[in-house]
Amino acid sequence: MCALSVPTIALTRGTNGEEVLIPQLGLGTYKIPDDEAECVVRDALAVGYRHIDTAQMYGNEAGVGRAIAACGLPRRDLFVTSKLDNPNHRRDDALRSLDATMGALGLEVLDLFLVHWPLATSTGIDLVDTWRTMIEILHSGRVRAIGVSNFQPDHLRRIVEATGVVPAVNQIELHPWLAQSELRSTHAQMGIATESWSPLGRGRLLTDPVVVRIAEAVGVSPAQVIIRWHLQNGLVVIPKSTHRERMIANADVIGFTLDDAHMAALDALDQGVRTGSHPDQVQV
């Protein structure tokens, strides 16, 4: 079981000063039911993926955990992310839900724990309270890094101004149709790594004529073009696939580069088109 050759990005150091390296490419598991997750993640680990992204909301942490338990890889070779669900923002709920996450994943320490949405469903909870609980979790040593997901620039500024602790990551919907330039420049100023969810636009970008034309010119697949665009932009990318052959192809993106003209043509596709919820209007 050879690991893929994937570059890493150093995350902002947590309070314990440990350097945490995140593999720039991982497997997304959104919408993979628990009973399928074990088989999908087992395939991903077998073909060399070492970074797996799950969430309390996905309901598949136990399946992911069964695949991790069975894979036989040293724990230090894996990078596992999970996310705090919206009903769990209150301190006691967050701590209890983290216990459940760790139990389901079968891990002593999680690599990265994110606040999934800037939206608590329990009343009377402010984002700053949630972030203080995440900082407490980081201090406890049960996670190596903490971050957020779907945060807008004002959310980021508010939690950092109140606590002085910068999220290591903001995981947001990002692909050539939704390039998120304002958020990316805010992240660059604040030292936050940008992670792209639905990096293929839930598969819809694969038939975009510009993507298809570039794929033909370079001699790779449309998915490989888009994943390469994320990597060359310095983004962490987590394409989801339940098919082993697609997982292999999606990770076979290190042996070619997109030239400036191709990158510019992909950049020009940005029309602010979302395939998922807007953080201000998410349905919970």
Active site residues: 58
Shortest Å distance, C-beta 271 to ligand A2P: 16
Which C-beta is closer to ligand A2P: that of 94 or that of 178? 178
Identify residues 59-98 at the interface with ligand A2P (CB under 6 A): none
- Answer yes or no whether residue 206 interacts with ligand A2P by CB under 6 A: yes
The Cα 258–Cα 230 span in angstroms is 11
List, as one string, the DSSP characters of 91-111.
Answer: HHHHHHHHHHHHHHHT-SSEE
Identify residues 212-241 at the interface with ligand A2P (CB under 6 A): 221, 223, 239-241
Which C-beta is closer to ligand A2P: that of 14 or that of 28? 28
Identify residues 243-282 at the interface with ligand A2P (CB under 6 A): 243, 246, 249-250
Partners of 178 in the β-ladder: 175
Among 203, 213, 234, 277, binds ligand A2P (CB under 6 A): 203
Which C-beta is closer to ligand A2P: that of 166 or that of 200? 200
Shortest Å distance, C-beta 252 to ligand A2P: 10
Contact 269/175 with Cβ under 8 angstroms? no
Which C-beta is closer to ligand A2P: that of 79 or that of 177? 177
Nearest to 168 by CA among 202, 137, 199: 137
Place of tokens 């459940």: 100
Place of tokens 């909870």: 125
Residue 14 φ/ψ region, left for φ over 0, alpha for ψ in the -120 to 50 degree band, beta for the rest = beta
Nearest to 110 by CA among 120, 98, 124, 121: 98
The Cα 50–Cα 199 span in angstroms is 18
- Among the candidate windows 80-88, 114-122, 124-132, 202-210, which touches ligand A2P by CB under 6 A? 202-210
Identify residues 21-40 at the interface with ligand A2P (CB under 6 A): 28
CB-based contacts of 195, cutoff 8 Å, min separation 6: 149, 169, 170, 171, 172, 235, 236, 237, 238
Shortest Å distance, C-beta 232 to ligand A2P: 17
Shortest Å distance, C-beta 36 to ligand A2P: 10
Among 13, 142, 202, 244, binds ligand A2P (CB under 6 A): 202
Cα angle 282, 283, 284; round to 5: 110
Interface with ligand A2P: number of residues (CB under 6 A)? 18
Name the residue whose CB lies closest to ligand A2P.
203
Shortest Å distance, C-beta 141 to ligand A2P: 32
Q: Output Rg (C-alpha) for the chain, integer angstroms.
A: 18
Among 12, 233, 242, 277, binds ligand A2P (CB under 6 A): 242
The Cα 147–Cα 14 span in angstroms is 10
Shortest Å distance, C-beta 139 to ligand A2P: 33
The Cα 119–Cα 280 span in angstroms is 8
Contact 115/282 with Cβ under 8 angstroms? no
Among 201, 225, 229, 236, binds ligand A2P (CB under 6 A): 201
Residues at the contact surface with ligand A2P, assessed by CB under 6 A: 28, 198-203, 206, 221, 223, 239-243, 246, 249-250
